[in-house]
């Protein structure tokens, strides 16, 4: 019993990092994804081409490899000492995790947003133009709200995947929940920590499902 | 005074020339109906007049403001962005498939531009909206969403949305083509009432009887040119092509 309590306590301390990675990644990757989607649809062929390569690389290589590159790249390529790259109280290993996750998820979100934006009927743009809305007004008032409704199910998919992907931060020795569970399992010679960690992930995703379902329902007033 | 002047309008899509030198003038208070077969250039003409398409050559003036002109050397130039934006405030367009904003209530569809483009207060915008909805017999639908309205009601909302900006000229692109005959009647009635109030309008339509009744001037377009125009070309067509087209309508 004491062992279970201690397991829970230690996993909970790892949960801080898991949640940190989760929320910070969403915070950065969603706006970045929107920007990348705009870039991908840019009329400027150079911009569109570069963004296309970016998306292709991000989706075509393992996230784990990308994390390692962000972490070790500054030292091996530029000779910058990692300790110099700590941001405030955050160690660079954590900062690198957030950067790696955000860049990777932005690519996936960008493709989802692009699909949503391009599925909008051209008549919506034309009506907005005739009514005098500026391009920014048209996008934020007319297009984006409708795009959000359209892409929400796909976004939910990504968000749920992200919860589970946070465990990849172990490659940078970030002591998130999965790293904790692995350490505990080997010291206790038991699978119990893995099972508890699995329940944690599952509960988090349960909460996400409920929240996203509510969000979908709240937009069901129009079709 | 002419509210709309279009001279020698040329427009091509790729190698396909859709408008081959159109001249059209619309006086204040005049109702012009544009008829003709599909693919004849009617809708393109309307889209050029409303800045949804840019012309290759020609001159367009709306409410006395020059939108675009072609110089003697053959250079076609539009006025600057700010002016275009200003000119857009002088006309309204009613689409065939309404293009209402589905995530906005009827009220917000009508007031959004008033408030955020034309910088009217919320109270002012609501007052304009209420008056228009009352006039179009839609008052009880102010808080409904487009998806809960019939096609005819949606089209009336989109007319209200266009009228809210107090345009000097209103364009209709086949306003009843997406509606069944029963719903068509309600929309045509609204347009008739606007005609009686001397609203300047250009209407692209396939409703021949309506066009004949409501229009001061009828324009028959085919093959990218105006074949014939006048006040009675439906009852008394001169041109063979017009006769042939009208024969199809019995």
* Average pLDDT, integer, range B211-234: 91
Q: What's the gap in Å between the CA of A133 and the closest CA on chain B?
A: 6
Which residues of B have a CB under 8 Å from any CB of A? 50-52, 85, 88-89, 91-93, 95, 97, 99-103, 112-113, 116-118, 145-147, 161-162, 165
Query: Is residue B13 within 8 Å of B20, Cβ to Cβ?
Result: no
HSE-up (13 A, CA, CB side) for residue A99: 21
Query: Residue B250 pLDDT > 70, yes or no?
Result: no
Which value, in Å, is the radius of gyration of the alpha carbons in chain B? 18
* Average pLDDT, integer, range B155-184: 93
HSE-up (13 A, CA, CB side) for residue A14: 28
DSSP string, A56-100: HHHHHS-HHHHHHHHHHHHHHHH---GGGG-BTTB-HHHHHHHHH
Query: Is the ipTM of this structure higher than 0.90?
Result: yes
* Average pLDDT, integer, range B99-114: 96
Q: What is the per-residue pLDDT for A13?
A: 84
* Average pLDDT, integer, range B100-124: 94
Query: Residue B236 pLDDT > 70, yes or no?
Result: yes
> How far, CA to CA in Å, does A121 sit from each of A42, A124, A173?
18, 6, 47
> How far, CA to CA in Å, does A172 sit from each of A35, A60, A71, A127?
28, 21, 7, 51
Between chains, do B100 and A127 touch, taking CB under 8 Å as contact? yes
Confidence of residue B147 (pLDDT cuts 50, 70, 90): very high
When CB atoms are compared, the residue of A128, A129, A145 closest to B103 is A145
* Average pLDDT, integer, range B47-53: 95
Q: What is the per-residue pLDDT for A161?
A: 96
Q: What's the gap in Å between the CA of B99 and the closest CA on chain A?
A: 6
Query: Residue B232 pLDDT > 90, yes or no?
Result: no
Query: Is residue B181 within 8 Å of B209, Cβ to Cβ?
Result: no
> Looking at the domain A2-218, which fold is it?
MetI-like fold (1.10.3720)
- Angstrom distance (rounded) from CA B250 to CA B247: 5
Query: Residue B91 pLDDT > 90, yes or no?
Result: yes
Confidence of residue A162 (pLDDT cuts 50, 70, 90): very high
When CB atoms are compared, the residue of B52, B89, B102 closest to A126 is B52
Chain B partners within 8 Å of A141 (Cβ): 112, 116
Residue of B nearest to A133 (CA): B117
Q: What is the per-residue pLDDT for A100?
A: 95
Report the share of chain A in percent with pLDDT over 90.
66
Largest CA distance in chain B: 56
* Average pLDDT, integer, range A204-217: 95
Q: What is the per-residue pLDDT for A149?
A: 94
Domain ranges (residues) in chain A: 2-218
Euclidean distance between the first and the last CA atom of chain B, given in angstroms as a whole number? 36
Per-residue pLDDT tens digits for A119-152: 999 999 999 999 999 999 999 999 999 999 999 9
* Average pLDDT, integer, range B37-57: 93
Chain mean pLDDT for chain B = 92
Cβ-Cβ contacts under 8 Å between A and B: the total is 59
Query: Is residue B163 within 8 Å of B98, Cβ to Cβ?
Result: no
Per-residue pLDDT tens digits for B23-35: 999 999 999 999 9
Q: What is the per-residue pLDDT for A75?
A: 80
- Angstrom distance (rounded) from CA A126 to CA B47: 10
Least confident segment among A171-175, B75-79, B87-91, B96-100: A171-175
Residue B229, both tokens: 């125009």
Query: Residue B164 pLDDT > 90, yes or no?
Result: yes
Confidence of residue B124 (pLDDT cuts 50, 70, 90): very high
Per-residue pLDDT tens digits for A29-41: 999 999 999 999 9
Least confident segment among A186-195, B1-10, B57-66: A186-195
Query: Residue A2 pLDDT > 80, yes or no?
Result: no
Per-residue pLDDT tens digits for B52-86: 999 999 999 999 899 999 988 889 999 999 999 99
Residue of A nearest to B97 (CA): A123
Q: What is the per-residue pLDDT for A50?
A: 96
Between chains, do A149 and B103 touch, taking CB under 8 Å as contact? yes
Bigger pLDDT: A175 vs B107: B107
Between chains, do A222 and B147 touch, taking CB under 8 Å as contact? yes
Q: What is the per-residue pLDDT for B53?
A: 95
Least confident segment among A156-160, B19-23, B104-108, B246-250: B246-250
Q: What is the per-residue pLDDT for A135?
A: 92
Confidence of residue A92 (pLDDT cuts 50, 70, 90): confident
């Amino acid at each position: 019993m004491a062992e279970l309590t201690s397991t829970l306590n230690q996993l909970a301390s790892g949960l801080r990092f898991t949640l940190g990675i989760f929320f910070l990644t969403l915070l950065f990757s969603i706006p970045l994804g929107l920007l990348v989607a705009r870039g991908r649809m840019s009329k400027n062929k150079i911009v569109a081409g570069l963004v296309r390569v970016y998306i292709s690389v991000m989706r075509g290589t393992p996230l784990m490899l990308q994390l390692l590159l962000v972490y070790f790249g500054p030292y091996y390529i530029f000779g910058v000492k990692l300790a110099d790259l700590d941001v405030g109280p955050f160690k660079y290993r954590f900062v690198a995790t957030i950067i790696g996750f955000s860049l990777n998820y932005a690519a996936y979100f960008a493709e989802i947003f692009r699909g949503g934006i391009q599925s909008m009927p051209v008549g919506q743009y034309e009506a907005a133009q005739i009514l005098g809305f500026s391009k920014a007004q048209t996008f934020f008032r007319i297009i984006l709200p409708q795009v959000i409704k359209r892409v929400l199910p796909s976004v939910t998919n990504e968000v749920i995947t992200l919860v589970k992907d946070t465990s990849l931060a172990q490659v940078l020795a970030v002591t998130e929940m999965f790293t904790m569970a692995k350490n505990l399992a080997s010291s206790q010679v038991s699978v119990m920590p893995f099972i508890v960690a699995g329940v944690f992930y599952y509960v988090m995703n349960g909460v996400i499902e409920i929240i996203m379902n509510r969000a979908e329902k709240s937009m069901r007033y129009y079709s | 005074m002419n509210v709309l002047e279009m001279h020698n309008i040329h427009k091509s899509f790729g190698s396909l020339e859709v408008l081959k030198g159109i001249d059209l003038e619309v006086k204040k208070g005049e109702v012009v109906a544009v008829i003709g077969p599909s693919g004849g250039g009617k809708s393109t003409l309307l889209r050029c007049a409303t800045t949804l398409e840019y012309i290759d050559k020609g001159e367009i003036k709306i409410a006395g403001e020059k939108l675009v002109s072609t110089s003697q050397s053959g250079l076609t130039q539009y006025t600057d962005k700010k002016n275009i934006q200003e000119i857009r405030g002088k006309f309204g367009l009613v689409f065939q498939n309404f293009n209402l904003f589905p995530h906005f209530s009827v009220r917000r569809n009508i007031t959004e531009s008033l408030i955020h483009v034309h910088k009217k207060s919320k109270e002012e915008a609501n007052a304009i909206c209420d008056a228009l909805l009352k006039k179009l017999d839609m008052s009880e639908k102010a808080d409904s969403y487009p998806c809960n309205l019939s096609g005819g009601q949606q089209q009336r909302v989109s007319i209200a949305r266009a009228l809210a900006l107090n345009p000097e000229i209103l364009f209709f692109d086949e306003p009843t083509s997406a509606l069944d005959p029963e719903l068509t009647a309600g929309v045509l009635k609204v347009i008739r009432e606007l005609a009686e109030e001397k609203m300047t309008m250009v209407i692209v339509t396939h409703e021949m009887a309506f066009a004949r009744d409501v229009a001061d001037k009828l324009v028959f377009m085919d093959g990218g040119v105006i074949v014939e125009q006048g006040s009675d070309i439906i009852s008394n067509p001169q041109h063979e092509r017009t006769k042939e087209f009208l024969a199809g309508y019995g």
